[in-house]
Amino acid sequence: MANSTSGYSRRRALALMGAGAGVAAASTALPTRFAIGGQAKVRIGTLLPYSGTYTRLGQAITNAMELAFDQGGGKLGGRPIELVKVDSEAKPPKAAELTNKLINQEKVDFVVGPVHSGVAMAMAKIAREENTMVVVPNAGANQVTGPFCSPNIFRTSFSNWQPGHPMGKVLLDEGKKNVVLCYWGYGAGKQSAQGFKDGFVPHGGKIIKEIAVPFPKVEFQAALTEIASIKPDAVYVFFAGGGAVKFVKDWAAAGLKDKIELVGPGFLTEGVTKAQGAAAEGIRTTLHYADTLDIPANRAFRAAYKQAFGKEADVYAVQGFDAGLLIRAGMDAAGGDTGARAAMIKAMETTAIPSPRGQWTMSAAHNPVQNFYLRQVRNGVNEVVKLAMENLSDPAKGCRM
Count Cβ atoms below 10 Å from residue 7 Cβ, excluding itself: 9
**x/- letters, 224..263, toward another protein (CB under 8 A):** xxx-xx-x---------xx-xxx--xx--xxxx--xx---
Alpha helices in 49-91 (DSSP H): 55-71
* Site stretch for another protein (CB under 8 A), options 38-46, 219-227, 281-289, 339-347: 219-227
**What residues are paired with 372 via a beta bridge?**
389
For another protein, the closer CB: 211 or 348: 211
Does position 282 bind another protein by CB under 8 A?
no
- Footprint of another protein on residues 332-361 (CB under 8 A)? none
- Looking from the CA of 41 toward its CB, the CA atoms found within 13 Å total 14
* Site stretch for another protein (CB under 8 A), options 118-126, 207-215, 284-292, 315-323: 207-215
Does position 310 bind another protein by CB under 8 A?
no
> Smallest distance, Å, CB 163 to another protein?
19
What is the spatial distance between Cα 322 and Cα 328, in angstroms, rounded to a whole number?
10
> Smallest distance, Å, CB 13 to another protein?
11
Q: Count residues binding another protein (CB under 8 A).
A: 51
Does position 223 bind another protein by CB under 8 A?
yes
Does position 380 bind another protein by CB under 8 A?
no
Does position 379 bind another protein by CB under 8 A?
no
* Site stretch for another protein (CB under 8 A), options 37-45, 50-58, 288-296, 372-380: 50-58
For another protein, the closer CB: 51 or 350: 51
Q: Which residues contact 151 (CB under 8 A, 6 or more apart)?
A: 345, 401
For another protein, the closer CB: 58 or 368: 58
For another protein, the closer CB: 1 or 36: 1
- Which positions lie near another protein, rule CB under 8 A? 1, 3-4, 6-7, 10-11, 14, 51-56, 185, 211-214, 216-219, 221-226, 228-229, 231, 241-242, 244-246, 249-250, 253-256, 259-260, 271-272, 274-277
